[in-house]
Amino acid sequence: MGSNIKKIPKRLTRTVKNYCFILHKVWMVAPQYLIMLIVIALLGAILPILPLFFMEKVLNQLVNSSGEIRDYYWLAGLLIMGGAVNFLGNFTSGLRTYLSNFAVGIVEKHINVLIVEIASSTDLRYVHSKNYFVTLDNVRRSLGRRWDNLVLAPVNLLAHMITLTGLFLILKNYHTWVCLLVIGGITPNVMVQIRSRGMMNDFYEQQLEENRKINYLENLLTNRSYAGELRLFQTSQPFIGMFENLLDSRHKKVNHLRKKELIYTSLASMLSFGTIAACQVIIAYDVFMKHLLLGQWQLYTGTISSISFNLGVVFNIIANSYEEELFSNVLHEFTTKTVTVDVSKGDSYVSCVPKVIELVDVGFCYPDCDNFVLRHINLIIKQGEKIAVAGLNGSGKTTLIKLITHLYRPTEGKILFDGVDTSTYALKDIYQLFGIVFQDHSRYAFTLKENIAMSDRKHMHDSKRLSLAMEKSGVNQLEATLPKGCDTYLTKDFDKNGIGGLSGGQWQKVAIARGFFNDAPIIIFDEPASNLDPIAEYEMYQKFIALSEEKTTILISHRLSSAKMSDKIILLDQGTVAECGSHEELMKCKKQYAHLYELQANQYIQEKNTHNPFTTQ
């Protein structure tokens, strides 16, 4: 227990820092409400003390009354003033609740918007790191929560501390040692509460990994996307057993902590109540011996009870803050340490479409990993070229594209546009150069038009551009079947009448239309047809190249049949450029590309299909 007691000053320091962080956020978005809250809190801190003096005067007046009517008027005046003070106390309490709820709403909106803004601008290099995933997972759970405790706790803490100061000054007029006795009797109970809450807070921090497993299993067993396989393979019961075991383990740990808390709290409460009773006995003796008036008995015993209550509230606020501390720490870390990217920042602007894109000794590795995904990449891409990036799964094809499009920054080396280092350009200008269809394309819960125009929202209402993108991708056939045409919602998230039943192939066409819509000078297709057979993929890529016209086009595929139609093929192997050249040049070299091409060709040569894209060399 001694080691836990030593942790209390550190916990209190962290609590103060967390409160300062939250109050700073309140000051940023609602300074006037914070000022009003503090003023009302100060007023509310003084008001609870005044009734003690009124009751002292009332009792003394009753005991020492001369029976004259003026004494009754004085007594009535005291009672009326006491009632007015109580009314004012209740009014300020209600006003504080109203203002605090208003301020909480503003802060809640600000914090939630801040979280999603930071998440949406996070440097993509860090998105896949474990630390970022854990932090974002914890922060995401805060969206939609109530912020009352975080915002109100420091204000309430200030009010009760001021009240306690006044109460101790009253008790000091009786005897200083009584103040010390009250503090000594109540402090153990308070310390036990702090220790117990601290233990629970430590437990919740240690339980994060287990909670993620519980949440995953709950989603696995209730999400309809898993229902078919789980029932067909009859694998639900093992997962239910795992889910139940994790819940049992968590319950046993919590129950063990609660038992310890009950024992320590009971012992400390005995000491606390015994101390208060002893103080009351001592004051009663002085009243009995005529050293104190009956009104002073009421004043001092009421003060002791108020001290006990307010001390309990103060330390309960601090103890409760430990339960909020986990989120407050995570929020502070997320808002101050997350690496974000300002897409508008740059020393110069991309004035025209680059004629040459050059990668000079480029390498890339993730921030929390020492192994390079790509290393020593040297490439030149000329305007209007049709480039194919090929290689086996895991060779670094998609990472290369993210470097070219500047979604990732190179760990080493540099990327040049017409000989100029792109690190000097604003990213928003670079992004406008690219139209891309990712392998793991996004499915937005909006209308067909909004899904397609997501790549260039400022031209969303350009019907000509929209029609051309749908025609190139084949989405126009889908639009003809929709009840509201391109204004039909593709899911039921925002519209209960949305269709919510597009196939994977239909979503793929929507993503391709999105790639064509922004009319970018450089078009990239990152294996959008990976779920198709090689023949269908080959035909689709032929169509892409034809539709790309004079634009620079980059095709990514691990199937070499689709790569041979390009002007230049870049073969990646284990994060490096293994070969680079046209299909004919690489076949003549008879190295890795030729070997892989022949291996893939042999899988289909027996079919003797006239549409077979492979040809013998």
Q: What string of DSSP letters covers 172-225?
A: HTT-HHHHHHHHHHHHHHHHHHHHHHHHHHHHHHHTHHHHHHHHHHHHHHH-HH
The residue-averaged pLDDT of 24-36 equals 80
Share of the chain above pLDDT 90, in %: 10
3-class DSSP state of 109: helix
Say what the pLDDT of residue 570 is: 92
Share of the chain above pLDDT 70, in %: 87
Say what the pLDDT of residue 319 is: 66
Say what the pLDDT of residue 616 is: 44
Say what the pLDDT of residue 5 is: 52
Q: How far apart are CA 514 and CA 449, in angstroms?
A: 10
391-435 pLDDT per residue, tens: 888 888 889 999 999 989 999 999 999 999 998 898 888 988 988
Q: How far apart are CA 557 and CA 555, in angstroms?
A: 7
What's the gap between Cα 220 and its chain centre?
22
H/E stretch holding 579:
strand 576-581
Copy the structure tokens of residue 30: 């609602």
Q: How far apart are CA 597 and CA 601, in angstroms?
A: 6
Q: Higher model confidence: residue 416 or residue 219?
A: 416
pLDDT band at 327 (very low <50, low <70, confident <90, very high): low
3-class DSSP state of 278: helix
pLDDT band at 316 (very low <50, low <70, confident <90, very high): confident
366-370 long-range contacts (CB < 8 A, ≥24 apart) are 366/125, 366/126, 366/128, 366/129, 367/125, 367/126, 367/129, 367/339, 368/129, 368/130, 368/131
pLDDT of 2 higher than 60: no
Say what the pLDDT of residue 336 is: 77
Contact 553, 523 (CB under 8 A): yes
Q: How far apart are CA 57 and CA 360, in angstroms?
A: 88
User: Is residue 73 exposed (0-12), middle (13-18) or buried (19+ Cβ within 10 Å)?
Assistant: exposed
Say what the pLDDT of residue 232 is: 65
341-368 pLDDT per residue, tens: 888 887 777 778 899 999 999 999 888 7
Beta bridge partners of 572: 577
Q: Higher model confidence: residue 524 or residue 55?
A: 524
User: Is residue 461 exposed (0-12), middle (13-18) or buried (19+ Cβ within 10 Å)?
Assistant: exposed
Say what the pLDDT of residue 48 is: 81
Residue (of 40, 44, 39) closest to 86 by Cα position? 44
The residue-averaged pLDDT of 129-141 equals 71
pLDDT of 617 higher than 50: no
Q: How far apart are CA 257 and CA 250, in angstroms?
A: 11
**Residue 17 CA: distances (Å) to CA of 13, 64, 147, 273:** 6, 53, 17, 33
571-606 pLDDT per residue, tens: 998 899 999 998 899 999 889 888 888 887 776 665
Instruction: Give the angle subtended at the CA of 316 by the CAs of 311 and 321, to the nearest 5°.
Output: 135
Say what the pLDDT of residue 341 is: 80
The residue-averaged pLDDT of 241-255 equals 89
H/E stretch holding 257:
helix 236-288
pTM of the model: 0.66
Copy the structure tokens of residue 64: 């020492």
Contact 590, 598 (CB under 8 A): no
The residue-averaged pLDDT of 207-236 equals 78
- Name the DSSP class of 312: H
Task: Kindly give the interhelix angle for 69-121 and 130-140, rounded to the nearest 10 degrees.
Answer: 140
Structural domains present in the chain:
14-337 (1.20.1560.10), 443-519 (no CATH)
Q: How far apart are CA 281 and CA 399, in angstroms?
A: 78
| Residues comprising the chain, all counted | 617
Task: Kindly give the interhelix angle for 31-46 and 2-29, rounded to the nearest 10 degrees.
Answer: 130
Q: How far apart are CA 424 and CA 347, in angstroms?
A: 5
pLDDT of 538 higher than 70: no
The residue-averaged pLDDT of 148-177 equals 81
254-313 pLDDT per residue, tens: 888 888 888 888 888 888 888 888 888 888 888 888 888 888 888 888 888 888 888 778
Q: How many CA atoms lie within 13 Å of 407's alpha carbon, on the beta-carbon side?
A: 13
H/E stretch holding 527:
none
**Residue 409 CA: distances (Å) to CA of 37, 160, 366, 415, 506:** 46, 52, 10, 9, 33
Q: How far apart are CA 519 and CA 456, in angstroms?
A: 9
User: Is residue 416 exposed (0-12), middle (13-18) or buried (19+ Cβ within 10 Å)?
Assistant: middle
3-class DSSP state of 420: strand
Q: How far apart are CA 563 and CA 214, in angstroms?
A: 45
Contact 247, 261 (CB under 8 A): no
Say what the pLDDT of residue 282 is: 85
Instruction: Report the amino acid identity of residue 372.
Output: F
3-class DSSP state of 309: helix
Q: Which of 43-52, 149-158, 219-228, 238-247 has the highest mean pLDDT?
A: 238-247
Residue (of 408, 326, 322) closest to 359 by Cα position? 408
Q: What is the 3-state secondary structure (H, E, C) of 465-522?
A: HHHHHHHHHCHHHHHCCCCCHHHCECCCCCCCCCCCCCCHHHHHHHHHHHHHHCCCCE
Residue (of 507, 503, 504) closest to 446 by Cα position? 507
Say what the pLDDT of residue 376 is: 92
pLDDT of 230 higher than 60: yes
